[in-house]
Amino acid sequence: MYNIFKLNNGLRIVTEYIEHVNSISVGVMVQNGSRNEDLEVNGISHFIEHMFFKGTEKRNSKEIVEEIENVGGQINAYTSKEVTCYYIKALNTHVDLAIDILADMLINSKFDEEEIKKEQGVVIEEINMSEDSPEDVLSDIQARALFGDNPLSYPILGTSKNIRSFNHSKLKKFVKSHYAPNNSVVSICGKFDEKELRKILEGKFGGWKAEDEYKPFYEEPKIINGTMYTNKPIEQLHINLALKGLPYAHDKSYALLLLNNIFGGGASSRLFQKVREELGLCYTIYSYAQPYLGVGVNNIYTGVSKQYADKALDAIYKELKELVEKGITKEQLEINKEKIKAGYILGLESTSSRMFANAKSLLLQNKIKTQEEVIEKINTINNDDINYVLDTCFKPGIISTAYVGPDIEVNKLNNIIEPSIKAFNILNLQKI
């Protein structure tokens, strides 16, 4: 059962009580990520996420994690393009402690200059590690190929040059302007006493004030039909092919999920069966949606040996063309409704996943979809929905490509799948 309310300072709270568990998941999600940055401070949202763990007025960095881990709990955080989330999972008897630590981190972090210098080294090593990962490089250059100079193209980790420029005043200024109760949500899922929980939340978060309400503004994203590639001396060629997608919370998003399930969502999908099982060209291949506020992308990923790339791309292109021309059968529609319902229901067995889903829904839509509403939405997917997604997302074909691997012949590869796509930039991975 969901319950939504606001504290006096405007902070939205969503709780979901689950009787049969003895755990609690508590998260604070803020509508701030790399999309909220400009180039000069790109990476600051992720760096601030790190710094919230480095000490407050009453806890040092060790005590923040130790107090939760000493009672068997887990504490972590993540930064994405559009949100940052700090969260704790613990036994429900420690809900007071979990809320206290998260509130302390968000309201009372010190941003000590010595800790900033140490964490700069940590994050730069994280960037170095990402640069050694072809999948991470592929994700970053694909965003550049799709969105050009729009902040959606900015890497979440930022650049080493930017990281070295961060100091106490710059971090505090950004937190002051981008972290506020009105653009944040506290989400709690598990077993708790509702009346006691409200008292705890008001006591811990009630003092969180902001001088101004922060209202995130995003430039209208325009998708660029471009290609980017990075030559790296590795064994495989990593490929991302982008199709048009649907924005976050679009009415037809479940139909897109269903079609992705058929096209590249698992071991029985068309791409997996054709490219891996029948042709034996790769180990991994799948398609997935990437929804953002106001825009969405649909992706096809695979990693192949360079000598098999042309065959793999030809097979992918033919499977895409066949899906658009023939669509899906009634039997496939009904089977995959059950599949995505099962995936959704199985996901609900985790208090953490429910906490994340509730937080994001309330933060970005200001409402919560009940489980019954989601199941009903899946059950009522029909041919009109499928045809809409086929026409909108799949029929336009591949709109952008990204490659990471050895000695990439980009024009040759692009001509296999979409002759209209031309390479517009070469990205050689460099340390900045």
CA 104 to chain centre: 25
pLDDT digits (tens, 9 = 90+) for 114-140: 999 999 999 999 999 999 999 999 999
- In this prediction, residue 420 has a pLDDT band, given cuts at 50, 70 and 90, of low
Question: What pLDDT, on the 0 to 100 scale, is given for residue 432?
Answer: 28
**Residue 431 predicted with pLDDT over 90:** no
For the CA atoms of the chain, what is the radius of gyration?
23
- In this prediction, residue 348 has a pLDDT band, given cuts at 50, 70 and 90, of confident
pLDDT digits (tens, 9 = 90+) for 16-42: 999 999 999 999 999 999 999 999 999
- In this prediction, residue 422 has a pLDDT band, given cuts at 50, 70 and 90, of low
Question: What pLDDT, on the 0 to 100 scale, is given for residue 401?
Answer: 94
Mean pLDDT, the chain, rounded, equals: 94
The phi and psi torsions of 239 (rounded to 5 degrees) equal -130, 135
pTM given for the model: 0.94
Is residue 49 flagged as an active site residue?
yes
> What average pLDDT score do residues 343-366 get?
94
Question: What pLDDT, on the 0 to 100 scale, is given for residue 421?
Answer: 62
> 407: buried, middle or exposed (CB in 10 Å: 19+, 13-18, 0-12)?
exposed
**Residue 12 predicted with pLDDT over 50:** yes
> What average pLDDT score do residues 48-58 get?
97
pLDDT digits (tens, 9 = 90+) for 64-117: 999 999 999 999 999 999 999 999 999 999 999 999 999 999 999 999 999 999
All domains of the chain, ordered by start, with CATH?
A: 2-205 (3.30.830.10), 227-417 (3.30.830.10)
Cα–Cα distance, 362 to 336 (Å, whole number): 28
Between 427 and 409, residue with greater pLDDT: 409
**Residue 429 predicted with pLDDT over 50:** no
For residue 187, give the nearest of 3, 14, 9, 401 by alpha carbon.
14
**Residue 212 predicted with pLDDT over 80:** no
First-to-final CA distance of the chain: 49
Quick count: other Cβ atoms within 10 Å of Cβ 282? 23
Q: Which of 19, 37, 40, 49 is catalytic?
A: 49
